[in-house]
Amino acid sequence: MSERTAARLTRILAMLPWVIAHPGARVDDVCDRFNYTRRQLFEDLELVFVCGLPGYGPGDLMVAYVEDDQVIVDTADYFAGAPRLSASESIALLAAGLAVLGSGQGSEALASAVEKLSRALLPEGDSLTVEVSAGEPEIAATLRTAAADGQVVEIVYTTLSREDTTTRLIEPWAVFTSLGNWYCSAHCRRAGGERVFRLDRIREIRATDERFEPPAERPEPEVRYSPSDDDVVCVIDLRPPAQWVLEYYPVEVLADAGDTRRIRFRASEAHVAAALLLRLGPDAHLVEGEEVRDALRERKERTLARYADSETLDA
């Protein structure tokens, strides 16, 4: 990682928790506190907009923009405070640090951090045994029992789309953990198909008296985006530099002509696809999808207006 990239990442990771903790923060306040120019702030918010958690579905991407001179950051609750690592995550972090130091690539700062973490985690002595037990949320036991008993569960669930909280009846299949978060794979009756729910987004849970018959073959429990009939659909041509999209998003390849791949891309909202197209630049071309085309035009106009404002203020 270059020094410039490292500095930018550090700045973003410092800015996000503060903005989340101060809803309605003004652009000038953020710039003053984190030594931003307006242009730098707008560029960082554009970058944040296409970042999120693995799975990279619409519910896992962050939202970041400026509206009425206020900095808005949403769907990034995992940045709201310092992470509280479980025992297994702490040991994994320590092991990774030791591995880097052992390769001879570690810095003095890393060596100091590893030493402090070792003192906190490991007892003194030449030989030791470390037992790791990863904590889990209380509702995991309720969902696991419901899955084993074939019991329908009612949940109040908040997606990472703005103000999208719904009550759903689900048929739990499995409870699992991935990348520090707990999930439940289930058949969602509201959506009419499989969905994967993050447990920390379940606001309320109630086991019902209704039973269900689990499928003979359940999908492998993993974090993934499940398309629905309400999705916005568009068709995109990808040149080779943009074809990493095939590895990270649930897309359908429609055609392979020379070095160009034509894909069908689905998202819950048009702005998600528009943000991806902006990120890909000239290496992607929108073929079909009027909603996405309108969202893309709006985002381009808004971005150009922001840059024009920042040029005026920086002059």
Low pLDDT (below 70) residues in the chain: 1-2, 50, 52-61, 75-85, 87-88, 99-106, 122-135, 159-164, 179-180, 222-230, 247-248, 303-315
pLDDT score of 127: 34
**What is d(CA 209, CA 229) in angstroms, rounded to the nearest whole number?**
29
Q: Are residues 305 and 256 in the same domain?
A: yes
Q: Are residues 157 and 197 in the same domain?
A: yes
Residues 49 and 99 in one domain: no
CATH of the domain at 22: 1.10.10.10
E strands present in the chain: 63-67, 70-74, 151-158, 165-178, 181-188, 193-198, 202-211, 232-238, 252-257, 260-267, 284-288
Domain that holds residue 91: 87-121
- Give the per-residue pLDDT at 293: 92
> Are 240 and 292 in contact, with CB atoms under 8 Å apart?
no
In a domain, 130, yes or no: no
Residue 222: inside a domain, yes or no? no
Residue 225 lies in a domain: no
CATH number assigned to the domain comprising residue 171:
2.30.30
pLDDT at residue 61 in the model:
66
| Boundary (domain end) residue, out of 53, 79, 105 | 79
Contact 263, 254 (CB under 8 A): yes
Sign, CA dihedral 133-138-139-142, equals positive
What Å distances lie between residue 45 and 15, 34, 268, CA to CA? 10, 13, 21
Assess if residue 126 is contained within a domain.
no
Q: DSSP class of residue 29?
A: H
Answer yes or no: is 241 within a domain.
yes
Instruction: Give pLDDT, residue 129.
Output: 40
> Positive or negative, the Cα torsion across 284, 287, 291, 296?
positive
Considering the domain architecture, whether residues 238 and 309 belong to the same structural domain is answered as: yes
What is the reported pLDDT for 125? 45
In a domain, 131, yes or no: no
The confidence score (pLDDT) of residue 131 equals 41
- Which residues neighbour 258 within 8 Å (Cβ) at sequence distance 6 or greater? none
The pLDDT score that the predictor gives to residue 63 is: 76
Are 240 and 177 within one domain?
A: no
Give domain status of residue 27, yes or no.
Answer: yes
Please, which residues have CB within 8 angstroms of residue 313's CB and are 6 or more apart in sequence?
37, 38
CATH of the domain at 242: 3.30.70
User: What is the predicted pLDDT for the residue at 142?
Assistant: 93
* DSSP H helix total and E strand total for the chain: 9, 11
As given in the structure block, the two tokens for residue 213 are: 């018959």
**pTM for this structure?**
0.42
Do the domain assignments include residue 104? Answer: yes
Q: Could you give the number of structural domains in the chain?
A: 4
